[in-house]
């Protein structure tokens, strides 16, 4: 579990460096989170207040992803293709989300389990599978939302670049 989360955090380093917004750049984070989902997500419970918890996870992840996507700096390269670079806020949202999930998992297995159990009973959450589903769906929503926002922003940047008049070389009159 810690290795997968460490890989997810290290992916930030890739995002902090300026990179082309191509299929590979968009697919790698999705594949990493999908692998984590396959590894951790065994069911999506729907009893009690489980769906509310899972929706809260999805909304929190989507919110962090939207902020991260909007905080990613974009520009067009010389060839008109969009380039992206995660700034401090975008990287912080990603690291904060992964870190919060890691901290929760660590706390749940190192003394906070009874308190989480009491909270779960009080709020009609059926068990640990609901928490796992909420946290995994939070990560998926974070990554997918961020990528959709960055992709759409990059696409509009490329369209604007394609519609802009060609630059006139110095010394030539237009």
Query: Given pLDDT bands bounded at 50, 70 and 90, which one contains residue 53?
Result: very high
Look at 7 and 34; give whichever has higher pLDDT. 34
pLDDT over 60 (residue 173): no
pLDDT at 165: 60
pLDDT at 16: 80
pLDDT at 168: 53
DSSP state, 125?
Answer: -
Q: Which of 161, 154, 160 is nearest to 72 (CA)?
A: 154
Q: What is the domain partition of the chain in residue ranges?
A: 2-160
Look at 159 and 149; give whichever has higher pLDDT. 149
What is the average pLDDT across 66-87?
91
Share of the chain above pLDDT 70, in %: 86
pLDDT at 19: 84
pLDDT at 41: 82
| Reported pTM | 0.82
pLDDT over 60 (residue 157): yes
Cα-based distances in Å from 48 to 106, 118, 127: 25, 14, 10
Q: What is the dihedral of CA 151, 137, 94, 152, to 10 degrees?
A: 10
Average pLDDT value over all residues in the chain: 85
């Amino acid at each position: 579990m810690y290795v997968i989360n460490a890989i997810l955090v290290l992916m930030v380093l890739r995002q902090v460096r300026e990179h082309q917004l191509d299929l590979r750049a968009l697919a790698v984070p999705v594949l990493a989170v999908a692998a984590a989902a396959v590894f951790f997500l065994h069911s999506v419970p729907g009893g009690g207040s489980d769906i509310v918890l899972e929706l809260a996870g999805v909304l929190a992840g989507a919110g962090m992803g939207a902020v991260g996507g909007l905080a990613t700096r974009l520009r067009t390269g010389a060839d008109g293709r969009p380039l992206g670079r995660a700034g401090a806020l975008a990287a912080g949202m990603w690291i904060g989300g992964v870190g919060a999930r890691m901290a929760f998992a660590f706390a749940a297995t190192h003394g906070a389990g009874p308190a989480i159990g009491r909270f779960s009973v009080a709020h009609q959450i059926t068990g640990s599978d609901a928490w796992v589903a909420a946290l995994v769906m939070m990560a998926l929503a974070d990554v997918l939302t961020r990528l959709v926002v960055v992709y759409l922003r990059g696409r509009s940047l490329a369209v604007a670049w394609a519609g802009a008049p060609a630059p006139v070389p110095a010394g030539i009159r237009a």
